Chain A
Amino acid sequence: MTIMKKRSSIAITLAVVFALVLREMQTRFGARRMGAFWMLFEPIAHIAFMMFVVTVIRGRHVPGMEYPVYLLTGIVPFFLMRNIALKIMEGVSANKSLFVYPNIKPFDTFVARAIVEFALAACVYVLLLTIMGTWFDFDVTTHKPLQWLAALFTGIVFSFGLGLVMCVVGEAFPNSKTFMRLAFMLLYVLSGVILPLWRLPPQILPWLLCNPYAHIVDNLRSSFFEHYPEINGINFQYPFAAALVVLFMGMALYRLRQRELLAI
Chain B
Amino acid sequence: MIELRNVTKSYLHHRAGRKFIFRDLSFTVPPNRNIALIGRNGAGKSTLMRLLGGLDVPDRGKIVTDKRISWPVGLSGGFQGSLTGRENVKFVCRVQGVHGDQMRSRVQFVEEFAEIGEYFDLPVKTYSSGMKGRVGFGLSLAFDFDYYLVDEAMSVGDAHFRDKAAQAFKDRVGRSNLILVTHGMGQVRKMCDYVLLLKDGNVIPYDDVEAGIAAYQGG
Contacts and interface: CB of A to CB of B under 8 A. Distances in A.
B199 interface: no
B95 A100 contact: no
A69 B143 CA distance: 53
B77 interface: yes
Interface in B58-105: 71-72, 75, 77-78, 80, 82-83, 87, 91-92, 94-98, 102
A61 to B, nearest CB: 44
Interface stretch (A23-31, A184-192, A205-213): A23-31
Nearest to B88: A23
A155 to B, nearest CB: 30
Nearest to B54: A102
Given A97-B77, A97-B78, A12 B91 contact: no
Contacts of B201: none
A1 interface: yes
A16 B97 CA distance: 8
Query: Chain B: interface residue count, which band?
Result: 20 to 34
A129 interface: no
Interface string B124-143: 00000000000000000011
Given A4-B97, A15-B97, A98 B78 contact: yes
B77 A100 contact: yes
A259 B60 CA distance: 12
Contacts, number: 70
B16 interface: no
B21 interface: no
A264 B95 contact: no
Nearest to B87: A26
A2 B95 CA distance: 17
Interface residues of A, number: 30
Contacts of A104: 95
A22 B103 CA distance: 16
Contact of A30 (B55, B82, B98): B82
A259 B75 contact: no
B56 interface: yes
B72 A100 contact: yes
A256 interface: no
Given A4-B96, A4-B144, A263 B57 contact: yes
A22 B91 contact: yes
Contacts of A27: 80, 82-83
Contact of B82 (A1, A31, A260): A31
B94 A22 contact: yes
A12 B53 CA distance: 19
B58 to A, nearest CB: 9
Contact of A264 (B55, B106, B142): B55
A3 interface: yes
B211 to A, nearest CB: 33
A260 B58 CA distance: 10
A68 B71 CA distance: 52
Contacts of A102: 54, 71, 96
B50 interface: yes
Contact of B83 (A2, A23, A263): A23
A16 B95 contact: yes
Nearest to B58: A259
Given A4-B96, A7-B97, A100-B53, A30 B78 contact: no
A99 B72 CA distance: 12
A210 B78 CA distance: 42
A112 to B, nearest CB: 11
A31 B83 CA distance: 8
A100 B76 CA distance: 10
A98 B77 CA distance: 8
A127 B87 CA distance: 30
Contacts of A18: 94
Nearest to B81: A27
A101 B95 contact: yes
A22 B80 CA distance: 12
Interface of B: 50, 53-57, 71-72, 75, 77-78, 80, 82-83, 87, 91-92, 94-98, 102, 106, 109, 123, 142-144
User: Lowest 4 CB-CB distances: which A-B pairs, in order?
Assistant: A19-B94, A97-B77, A259-B57, A100-B71
18 contacts: A1-B106, A1-B142, A1-B143, A7-B97, A11-B97, A22-B91, A22-B94, A97-B77, A99-B55, A100-B53, A100-B75, A101-B96, A102-B54, A102-B71, A103-B95, A104-B95, A262-B57, A264-B56
